[in-house]
Amino acid sequence: MIMPPRVLTVVALVAAVLPGDLAFSQEAEELPLTLSNETVVGGFVEPARRIRAEGWDWDHEVRIYLPPSYRSSDRTYPTLWVTDNSLELIQGALMGAEFGMAPELIVVAVGAPTGTSPAEFQRRRSYDFIPDRSLMGDLFAAAPDGTFGGAPGFLHFLVHQLRPLLAEEYRMDPEDHGYAGHSGGAQFGLYVLFNEPESFDKYVLSSPAVSQPWLEMEEAWNEEHKDLEAKVFLSAGEAEASDPVWAAAQIVSTVALVAERLATRNYESLELSVRIFPGEDHLTVMPIAYMRGVRQLYAE
């Protein structure tokens, strides 16, 4: 089936951003599965590992950052889960933690392994992040079978398979798990927020697209529940509304419509922050959104 141009555009934008720290090269594919421990400014990066989600045909790479005081203390730490294997972006948001200028967090980055080709990287994240196309509205109706549908299983992987496994090894505070995602990763975050919000306590959601499914999911949640317990930082870049490519994905309007819906609900346990960052586009806004979101949601 030939997909209409607008559908192709939006489907592509569901998984629009490749983290800048990923290197896609033939040489990268030859890297060993386990990398050596690395001490970084302000903390420690554990060896990378690959773990397969139940029912998946491919492995996810899992990379873990430990905060500066981790090896000299015995306390538990809040844990922030970030998609797209974007560990370095969250590390940047935590700069200064060793001086008390940023929160001390364990960070778990999950995504396609380093060295995955761009096309395969996009294919995997589109499947991981998006629920069944029947829930996604008309713009997704013509997508080929198997393009989407992995969101429930990916959530199960993060919360019920990977989290207990890592909690046996690392001192994670069981009462403080956060989530961060950009673009398609933020769409996955909205899916979780409106279906199983208890999965995470905090949500940093940067530049999600296509408002229809998320508003419908929120409506269904509201019919059964009169509260929504979460801290949410929802944002986009101002230039995402003026660039024709990003405008087609309805990113700024999605942030506005979802924020307005949540504001009018008056959920007692919801703490919502919304930002439109001046001058930033879909690419440049990502590190800024993570920096601001993490600093705000984890402020003491």
pLDDT averaged over the chain?
85
What's the mean pLDDT in 257-269? 97
What's the mean pLDDT in 278-296? 96
Q: How far is Cα 208 from Cα 210, in angstroms, rounded to an integer?
A: 7
Query: Where residue 9 sits, what CATH number does that domain have?
Result: 3.40.50.1820
Question: For residue 121, how many other CB atoms are within 10 A of its CB?
Answer: 22
Please tell me which residue, 83 or 147, carries the higher pLDDT value: 83
- Cα-Cα-Cα-Cα torsion 202, 278, 216, 149, nearest 10 degrees, comes to -70
* Sign of the dihedral through C-alpha 163, 164, 166, 170: positive
Question: For residue 139, how many other CB atoms are within 10 A of its CB?
Answer: 22
Unique residue bearing structure tokens 């045909």: 57
pLDDT band at 1 (very low <50, low <70, confident <90, very high): very low
Task: Please determine, for residue 230, whether its predicted confidence score (pLDDT) is greater than 80.
Answer: yes
What's the mean pLDDT in 2-11? 40
pLDDT band at 38 (very low <50, low <70, confident <90, very high): low
93-107, 131-145, 180-194 — which one is most confidently predicted on average? 180-194
Structure tokens at 161: 């398979």
> What pLDDT is recorded for position 11?
45
Structure tokens at 41: 């400014």
> What pLDDT is recorded for position 30?
30
Q: Report the DSSP beta bridge partners of residue 275.
A: 235
What's the mean pLDDT in 220-239? 97
Q: Which of 77-86, 110-119, 135-144 has the lowest mean pLDDT?
A: 135-144
Domain holding 63, by residue range, is: 5-297
pLDDT digits (tens, 9 = 90+) for 180-204: 999 999 999 999 999 999 999 999 9
pLDDT digits (tens, 9 = 90+) for 200-215: 999 999 999 988 899 9
Decide if 125 contacts 104 (C-beta within 8 A). no
Q: How far is Cα 136 from Cα 190, in angstroms, rounded to an integer?
A: 12
Q: Which of 25-39, 175-189, 225-239, 261-275 has the lowest mean pLDDT?
A: 25-39
pLDDT band at 91 (very low <50, low <70, confident <90, very high): confident
Task: Please determine, for residue 146, whether its predicted confidence score (pLDDT) is greater than 80.
Answer: no
Strand, coil or helix: what is 219?
helix
pLDDT band at 143 (very low <50, low <70, confident <90, very high): low
Overall number of domains in the chain: 1
